Amino acid sequence: MRVGVIGHTSVVHDFLEALNELKKEKNVECTAILALRSKDIEPSQSLADEFQISRLHTDRECFFSDPNIDAVYIALPNAFHYEYSMDALEHGKHVFCEKPFVPNVWQADRLIEAAKKNHVMIFEMITTLYFPNYLSLRERLPEIGDVIMAECNFSHVSGKYNDLINGKNPNVFNLDMCAGTMADMGIYAIHFVLGLFGRPEKAQYFANLYKTGIDTAGMLVMQWPDRSAVCISSKNSRGRNALIIQGSKGYIVCDCGANLITGYTIWKGKEKEFVNVQENKPRLYYELAAFEEIIQNQDYNKCYQILDYTKMVVSVCEFSRRAAGIIYPTDRRDN
């Protein structure tokens, strides 16, 4: 599998490190990078040099038409995920789209339709669901009995927060970029919870809104018939990043943010057990390895199952975000 990359931020570096690790085991490599603007050429060239990538494209059509690209990794601001994913799909390329997938259900529906029409696959890059520690936790969840509630906190002060309060409009706090705290930080915790419990019956987002209408912090409260969960996220305050699941026979604690899952402790009475089944792999390795296997096996049913789940997450986020008064430009394009 040959991958082309769009973007040049730190997460692209993480992706290329994961791809290099996978290259040791599978026949995969990054063959090209697309620099969208003139100011993107220098950082893109730096990545190309570091990871020995053979081509740097500056023309969008040439990039998507490149026969040496089988799949495209998209790491652009959220507002561009739909447009560039659609372009890749229509050119017959598989897509790895950075989280959050897209901000609207209508966009998710059209991307899924395009993937099926062109007989290619599309995946949301979300580390949480593919960590071996997360899969292990899901298997061992019954050990704490009936799950009653969960609490997930992922917070830190963004390096762009001062720009916001000083009158600038950085991408991560920009409504036009379909950004904000839920989309950037909260999405990890939301995936952590929904990957375990499925679609909630109720969801309400209590957001701290800046004067521009963007959420700088908030908590998403979700309810099922027999349990509840709260996902707390903030980009303008510090907190204890932790994941806690309470059950009738014990509880589970992960002392980390939902983007890492570095291990977890099962408490049953006075007994505790720390579990860490992960190897020392790059952060994005596990999801990339899972998607590569699905593509190589041509397991479209598995891809479509994942997309059904992804669309459910988009639906929960869109509904609760819009109900909290956070409106993106794309929310007005429902037809």
DSSP-based three-state secondary structure for 118 = coil
Q: Are 269 and 250 in contact (CB under 8 A)?
A: yes
Q: Tell me if the pTM is above 0.85.
A: yes
Euclidean distance between CA atoms 320 and 315, whole angstroms: 9
32-82: pLDDT as tens digits: 999 999 999 999 999 999 999 999 999 999 999 999 999 999 999 999 999
Strand partners, 117: none
Task: Output the pLDDT for position 332.
Answer: 77
d(CA 42, CA 167): 28
Query: What span, in angstroms and rounded, lies between the C-alpha atoms of 162 and 184?
Result: 17
69: which DSSP letter? -
Question: What residues pair up with 271 in beta bridges, in sequence order?
Answer: 268
Q: Which residues of 224-238 are buried (b: 16+ CB within 10 A; e: fewer)?
A: eeebbbbbbbbbbee
Q: Which CATH entry fits the domain spanning 2-124+285-302: 3.40.47.10, 3.40.50.2300, 3.40.50.720, 3.40.50.620?
A: 3.40.50.720
Task: For 79-126, write each residue's pLDDT tens digit.
Answer: 999 999 999 999 999 999 999 999 999 999 999 999 999 999 999 999
Eight-class DSSP state of 227: E
The yes/no answer on whether domain 132-277 falls in CATH 3.30.360.10 is yes
C-alpha to C-alpha distance for 215 and 324, rounded to whole angstroms? 9
Instruction: Report the candidate in 46, 50, 25 with the shortest Cα–Cα distance to residue 281.
Output: 25
For the chain, the domains span 2-124+285-302, 132-277
Give per-residue pLDDT as tens, 309-321: 999 999 999 999 9
What are the backbone dihedrals phi and psi of residue 286, each rounded to the nearest 5 degrees, phi first?
A: -65, -40
For residue 236, what are the CA distances in angstroms to 118, 154, 157, 163, 188? Answer: 42, 11, 4, 12, 17
Residues 171-215 have pLDDT tens digits of 999 999 999 999 999 999 999 999 999 999 999 999 999 999 999
Residue with tokens 């987002």, as numbered in its chain: 205
Tokens 């909290």, located at residue: 324
3-state class (DSSP) for residue 64:
helix
